[in-house]
Amino acid sequence: MLPATGTTPAAPREAASALVSELRGIDWLHLLEAWGLRLLAAVAIFVAGRWLAQRLGNGLDRVMARAGVDPTLGGFLRNIAYAVMLVLVIMTALTALGVPTTSMFAILGAAGLAVGLALKDSLSNIASGVMLIVLRPFRTGDHVVAAGQEGTVLEVRVFQTRLRGLDHRVIILPNSEITTAPIINYSSLPQRRFDVTVGVGYRDDLQQARDLLVRIARDEPLVLDEPAPVVRVLNLGESSVDLVLQAFAANDDFIEARSRVVEAVRNQLIGHGLSIPYPQRDLHVYHRDADGRPLSELLLRGVADDGDHRPRPPRG
């Protein structure tokens, strides 16, 4: 309760007076100068550090280019190095400004955890992209089968890989799907084997067919002499003896070489009196059922029953 005399208390006025005295006692000019110097130092550190980071990144790029590092891998490493150096520059500038970096690291860690949980699929693609760029299971221009898709590699990026299909479609694959599936690289080696399966009749001369297939492969200019083409017996089929011709060609000549060999096989097998038999089936017709009754009798009885539409005589 207020005093009975109705006068206001002196405590608030004394507190206000003390606050005004303290504010008047602060050397505002010195404080502004100190903050200005800190801000100027922070800006100078940031500008100089960013320029230095760019120069170091460009220098690293030139060094990797001279060392023969793949351009995709070189660009990725340059960006990573520039990002790391830029984070260090920003933290140094904040320290010069007087901002406690410990709390900043804690905030950045919490924010990074939240972002990582929200973008886990994208981070998985990034990690897979790093693996593809570093391990290099294939390169630009290679003919591959990746994630069930076949084509020529156009570009390997951090998030995705672009292929050109055999029908000239652009196929974009997430990197995480590529690293979790088998990868077949047809361009890793300079040559590639193709198989041509041929069926000949059981009455044909098997050795003649084998010699003819080997001669066809050797006469084709696109087929390599080493490793030499071979013919093996693959299977005894229902209608034919299956032979397989195995020959090698350069990667660039694979499709054309196989096409020429298949055409020559068809023409020369027929020209040399050998047959390419079609599937055959034997049909057996039985005239009696399992009880020995003739089938004709059963058929005639069924026709008679179906055609008998005479009315039944009335009862009584």
Q: Return the CATH number at 44.
A: 1.10.287.1260
Number of domains in the chain: 3
Indicate the residue among 48, 82, 104 that finishes a domain: 104
Confirm whether 311 is domain-assigned. no
Segment 114-163, tens digit of pLDDT: 666 655 667 778 788 888 877 889 988 899 999 999 999 998 887 889 99
**What pLDDT score does 194 carry?**
93
In a domain, 296, yes or no: no
User: How many Cβ atoms sit within 10 Å of the Cβ of residue 248?
Assistant: 20
pLDDT digits (tens, 9 = 90+) for 67-112: 776 666 677 777 778 888 888 888 787 777 776 666 666 666 766 6
In a domain, 304, yes or no: no
What is the end-to-end Cα distance of the chain in Å, rounded?
A: 127
pLDDT-derived band at 239 (thresholds 50, 70, 90) equals confident
Print the domain residue range for 151: 134-185
Residue 223 lies in a domain: yes
Are 33 and 61 within one domain? yes
Domain boundary among 151, 185, 219: 185
Query: CA 14, CA 24: separation in Å to the nearest integer?
Result: 15
Last residue of a domain, one of 54, 89, 104: 104
Residue 142 in domain: yes
Segment 265-274 shows an average pLDDT of 85
CA angle 40, 46, 47 (to 5 degrees): 90
For the ranges 60-74, 253-267, 282-296, which has the lowest average pLDDT? 282-296
**278 exposure class (CB count in 10 Å sphere: 0-12, 13-18, 19+):** exposed
Q: Quick one: 143 and 197 in the same domain?
A: no
Q: In the predicted model, what is the mean pLDDT of the chain?
A: 78
pLDDT score for 17: 65
Residue in the block written with tokens 């038999």: 277
Residues 146 and 210 placed together within one structural domain of the fold:
no
The reported pLDDT for the residue numbered 135 is 83
pLDDT per position as a tens digit, 218-236:
999 999 999 999 999 989 8
Whether residue 98 lies inside any domain: the answer is yes
Query: What pLDDT band is residue 1 in, cutting at 50, 70 and 90?
Result: very low
- Does residue 301 form part of some domain? no
Of the chain, the percentage scoring pLDDT greater than 90 comes to 26
Work out the average pLDDT over 239-248: 92
Q: Are 175 and 161 in contact (CB under 8 A)?
A: yes
Q: What is the pTM of this model?
A: 0.55
